[in-house]
Chain A
Amino acid sequence: KNEVEQSPQNLTAQEGEFITINCSYSVGISALHWLQQHPGGGIVSLFMLSSGKKKHGRLIATINIQEKHSSLHITASHPRDSAVYICAVRGSGDKLTFGTGTRLAVRP
């Protein structure tokens, strides 16, 4: 079993829809990262969180440490949100363990 599992693997939405991407992990962690990989391949960090909730624009990330689960929400989705969203966790060894990503396509 992978340490980091993301669901769904692929997601297609209509513009304007509310989107949820999930990340579950099996080890104790000190922090969780959400990253976005653009269609051209570039990777940017969206959030780093260890508890509660963070919001940036239309993006919201939440984490439940007890349940070992995090969600990334996108409100009022737009075609420019089309990308691969990657969850990564930092465990006791400090290094990041990455999920395989959720590929999101938002149709106009």
Chain B
Amino acid sequence: NAGVTQTPKFRILKIGQSMTLQCTQDMNHNYMYWYRQDPGMGLKLIYYSVGAGITDKGEVPNGYNVSRSTTEDFPLRLELAAPSQTSVYFCATSPGGWAETQYFGPGTRLLVL
């Protein structure tokens, strides 16, 4: 099993460009999460999903969108990239909810110039 995979590993964007960060899991977990990690800061929740077709905002959702059409995939969309979105993005999953261990992907490093 691959677990949680994220693509790309690293990307440079120009201000105003858009991109989609991909997250795929093969563990059949219902819950999926997107976090961002800024230097010297704790992980911040961007969006989460409790199952296919259901998504909700986290702590820092502005500038991002998500969709969850299947159990396996939870892409994160940046529509108009801004320098403030320079960060490392982690996707995570858990089997059935917040009370369970979260499994993290390897991360995507994004630089917006």
Determine the chain A residues whose CB is within 8 A of the CB of B97 once the complex forms.
94
B residues 75-113 in Cβ contact with A at 8 Å: 88, 90, 92, 97-104, 106-107, 109
Q: Determine if B42 and A97 form an interchain contact, defined as CB atoms under 8 angstroms apart.
A: yes
Q: Determine if B42 and A42 form an interchain contact, defined as CB atoms under 8 angstroms apart.
A: no
What is the interface residue range for chain B against chain A? 20 to 34
A7 at interface by CB-CB < 8 Å: no
A41 at interface by CB-CB < 8 Å: yes
A98 is contacted by which of B42, B107, B109 (Cβ under 8 Å)?
B42
Determine the chain B residues whose CB is within 8 A of the CB of A97 once the complex forms.
42
Determine the chain A residues whose CB is within 8 A of the CB of B43 once the complex forms.
86, 88, 96, 98
Q: Determine if A95 and B45 form an interchain contact, defined as CB atoms under 8 angstroms apart.
A: yes
A45 is contacted by which of B59, B99, B101 (Cβ under 8 Å)?
B101
Known: A41-B88, A42-B107. A86 touches B42 (CB 8 A): yes
- How many Å from the CB of A46 to the closest CB on chain B? 10
Determine the chain B residues whose CB is within 8 A of the CB of A94 once the complex forms.
97-99
Complex CA distance for A45 and B104, rounded to whole angstroms = 8
Q: Determine if A100 and B42 form an interchain contact, defined as CB atoms under 8 angstroms apart.
A: yes
Determine the chain A residues whose CB is within 8 A of the CB of B59 once the complex forms.
95
B residues 1-58 in Cβ contact with A at 8 Å: 40-45, 48, 58
Q: Determine if B45 and A44 form an interchain contact, defined as CB atoms under 8 angstroms apart.
A: no
Complex CA distance for A44 and B101, rounded to whole angstroms = 9
Q: Determine if B98 and A96 form an interchain contact, defined as CB atoms under 8 angstroms apart.
A: yes
Q: Determine if A45 and B103 form an interchain contact, defined as CB atoms under 8 angstroms apart.
A: yes
Known: A4-B42, A41-B107, A100-B42. A95 touches B101 (CB 8 A): no
A contact residues vs B (CB 8 Å cutoff): 2, 4, 30-31, 33, 40-45, 48, 86, 88, 90, 94-101
